[in-house]
Amino acid sequence: MSPALEVEGLHTHFGGVSAVDGVSLVLEPGRIYGLIGPNGSGKTTLFNCITGVERRDAGRVAFNGQRIDGLKPWQIARKGIGRTFQVIRVFPELSALENLLVVTRGSRVAARERALELLTFVRLEGLRDEYAGNLSYGQQKLVEFVRVLMRDPSLILLDEPAAGVNRTLLQDLLDAVRRLRDRGKTILLVEHDMKVVMGLCETVFVLDHGEKIAEGPPGTIQTDERVIEAYFGR
């Protein structure tokens, strides 16, 4: 069985700065991975390159054995990769329900049912007709999270899913992520909250200045010298 995601030698730069500098990683299906690193280390840029939002200069990306580098973002999304954004990007003048409906195709009735199910799961069904822009930060985050699930992607990229979400709901969210993994989905998440990363991820990648400096189980990463230096040193 081919890996869910294979990134090989990814390079991209802005102006004169290398944002992602030769990053390679492999994600096996049905596991939860973490991506950490100091601010500006290129984590979101890496997400953007994988999902086609950012143009890469070099390197390949393969999803389930198929190359996806160079494809448009919507083509990549339709192949089964879903993502959330670091800065929330719900559609503010659509209602919460519409935010979920708009990403679906096919039977509107089935889509609506699924949307209501997901909204109920994050306890937002009462706000389904509220403009997404009027919801609180945490509520918007949840809408964005379930919006990703509407198309039932097999690879899910989450960019700082825990930020701004209250503790109780965070537990539900993390449980949801585990259940998604149990159903065979692959998850890669960027997080700054170390407790979340340690408790959830099976393997962690560490980026610094656009390069991957470490890779391994959370326990090992925590004590890795280079990682400590990246965060606290210099």
Partner 1 sequence: MSRRAGFLAALAAAAALLAVYPSVASGYGVRAGLQLFMWIALAGSWNIISGLTGYVSFGHVAFFGAGAYAAGILVVKSGWPWLPASLAGGVAACLLALVIGYPCLRLKGPYFAIAMLGLNEVVRALVSYFEGLTGGGNGLSLPTLDAAIPVYYVMGLTAAAVVALTYFVITSRFGLRLMTIREDEVAAEAMGIDTARHKLYAFLLSAVGPGIAGGLAARDQGYIEPVSVFPLATTITMIVMVLFGGKGTVWGPVLGAVVLFVFQELVWARFIYLHQLFFGAIIIAVVLLMPRGVLGLLQIRYRLPRTI
Among 33, 63, 85, 145, interactor with partner 1 by CB under 8 A: 85
91 binds partner 1 (CB under 8 A): yes
Between 102 and 228, CB nearer to partner 1: 102
Closest contact distance (angstroms) between CB of 35 and partner 1 is 17
Segment near partner 1 (CB under 8 A); pick from 99-107, 181-189, 198-206, 221-229: 99-107
Closest contact distance (angstroms) between CB of 73 and partner 1 is 4
Q: Which residues contact residue 141 at a Cβ distance below 8 angstroms, ignoring those fewer than 6 apart?
A: 84, 88, 161, 163, 164, 165
Among 57, 93, 113, 117, interactor with partner 1 by CB under 8 A: 93
Closest contact distance (angstroms) between CB of 125 and partner 1 is 18
| Site for partner 1, residues 119 to 178, rule: CB under 8 A | 147, 151
Q: How many chain residues bind partner 1 (CB under 8 A)?
A: 24
Task: List, as one string, the DSSP characters of 40-82.
Answer: TSSHHHHHHHHTTSS--SEEEEEETTEE-TT--HHHHHHHTEE
d(CA 161, CA 168) in angstroms, rounded, equals: 14
Reduced to 3 states, what is the DSSP secondary structure of residue 191? coil
CA nearest to 119, candidates 105, 133, 108, 130: 130
Sign of the C-alpha dihedral, residues 227, 229, 230, 232?
Answer: positive
Segment near partner 1 (CB under 8 A); pick from 17-25, 32-40, 90-98, 192-200: 90-98
Where on the chain is the footprint of partner 1 (CB under 8 A)?
A: 51, 53, 72-74, 77-78, 83, 85, 89-94, 98, 101-105, 108, 147, 151
